[in-house]
Amino acid sequence: MTSGPIVPTLRPVVDTDLAVFFTQQADPVAADMAVFGPAWPDDEAVFRDKWARIRANPDLLTLTILADGEVAGYIAHFPQEGVPSISYWLGRAFWRRGIASAAVARFIAGIPTRPLYARVAVGNAASVRVLTRNGFHVVGRDQAHAPRLGRMVAEEIYRLDGTDPSAG
């Protein structure tokens, strides 16, 4: 892979992406950063079952992030705690290149819903930067169960205000 800025593209998830997502989400460094992943991120049966449900649910929009033609990760729009929310996950080889920030920018431009929310474990500085660079601001704090840690963990709630970008 070349170094330097990469402009990611988004496309629907295809079957062959799943093996890549699994490796990316089983990475303990990434799982520690995200905090709220599954208890056993390297359990492929659990992963496959979860993704089968995600892909079958018409209320969710999940897209693959491509960087230089490679599967860099995914980005998702889904209801969380009753409000429209986003989340994302990149393989570690793609971190710190602006890919998540650019992928979120592209993704939210295509989602008319406002406000739009995201929840981030306190301490996940990279994810907070991705959100704030895209206009999200913190509006609250909560606690959620982190299966991997077996305890409640503090999280911050971020919100993107504004009007439907497709309106007018």
Q: Which one, 58 or 151, has the nearer CB to ligand COA?
A: 151
Stretch that binds ligand COA, among 77-85, 117-125, 143-151, 156-164 (CB under 6 A): 117-125
Number of neighbours of residue 66 by Cβ within 10 angstroms: 18
How far apart CA 108 and CA 160 sit, in angstroms, is: 9
The yes or no reply on residue 33 touching ligand COA (CB under 6 A) is yes
Q: Which one, 62 or 101, has the nearer CB to ligand COA?
A: 101
Residue of 9, 80, 87, 113 that binds ligand COA (CB under 6 A): 87
| Bridge pairing between strands 9-12 and 61-67 | antiparallel
Question: Shortest gap between Cβ of 150 and ligand COA (angstroms)?
Answer: 19
Q: Which one, 88 or 117, has the nearer CB to ligand COA?
A: 88
What is residue 94's DSSP assignment? G
- Sequential DSSP letters for 18-43: HHHHHHHHH-HHHHHHH-SS-S-TT-
Stretch that binds ligand COA, among 15-23, 49-57, 86-94, 145-153 (CB under 6 A): 86-94
Asked if 76 contacts 64 with a C-beta cutoff of 8 angstroms, the reply is no
Q: Which one, 18 or 120, has the nearer CB to ligand COA?
A: 120
